[in-house]
Structure 1
Amino acid sequence: MKKFSELGVTVQDERKMFNCSQVSISDVLNCEIIVEDFIPDVKTSHGEGRYLVKFKHSNGADGKFFTNAASLKKTLDQIPKDAFPFSTTIKGMKCGNGKIYQFTY
């Protein structure tokens, strides 16, 4: 029997994947986390254009969350790849009927 690696098949989908537990962004609000990486423009059941953020808790556990928060997405787009990982706390502030999420120092 041949091994898959011997079949000469190339993998079509080379997207980055984060193999860790998914949480809600509300689970990490007001907690210090280490943002390790992100994937922009992910389509989910809630819509297109979401960002998937990989992080590490202060206890060392890996996690990920989806966000469509414009302020977080714009900030992540501005951070050079060589500046990852970085430590932050995500704060949520009420704005009308919703919330605005921001990285803080």
Structure 2
Amino acid sequence: MFNFKDLGIKPKENPFTGKKIDIDDILNEEIIVYDFEIKDSTKKSGTKYLTLQIEIDHKKRVVFTSGKTLMDVIEQIPHDKFPFKTIIRRNDKRLEFT
């Protein structure tokens, strides 16, 4: 019988660190965005969600959102421009980087 450790299987590394924080808790606050990932939602078929690696108050945090405007904009930012400072604001029902 094999020992699991001998199989050489490693879990996928999660590039995002820190506790989850709700998007509403960071609205209108200056944050630093380090990285992002857009994936298909497992909760709502046919939609996507955005994961942001941020820093707020000198702590690394992770934010999840389905904000389409944020996804559209962040995909246009070249990776060599990360990290960047921003404030996320609500404009009517849309979330926007400012």
State the TM-score bracket (shorter-chain normalisation).
0.7 to 0.9
Q: Secondary structure at the match of 1:90?
A: strand
Matched residues, number: 95
Cα RMSD, aligned residues only: 2.2
- Alignment-derived partner of residue 79 in structure 2: 81
1:32 to 30, 44, 48: 30
Supply the distance in 2 between the matched residues of 1:44 and 1:51 (Cα, whole angstroms).
12
Q: What is the TM-score with the length of structure 1 in the denominator?
A: 0.77
Q: What is the TM-score with the length of structure 2 in the denominator?
A: 0.82
Supply the distance in 1 between the matched residues of 2:41 and 2:20 (Cα, whole angstroms).
15
1:90 to 81, 88, 91: 88
One-letter amino acid of the counterpart of residue 26, structure 2? V
1:62–1:39 distance in 2 versus 1, CA, 3 Å = same
Which range moves more in the overlay, 61-70 or 28-37?
61-70
Supply the distance in 2 between the matched residues of 1:77 and 1:15 (Cα, whole angstroms).
22
Instruction: Name structure 1 gaps, 5 residues minimum.
Output: none
More contact order relative to length (CA 8 Å, sep ≥ 6): 2
Point out the structure with the larger strand share. Answer: 1
- Alignment-derived partner of residue 53 in structure 2: 54
Q: Deviations over 1:9-59 (max 9, x none)?
A: 244x646431211011110000000000011115343554101001001x2
Identity %, equivalent residues: 28
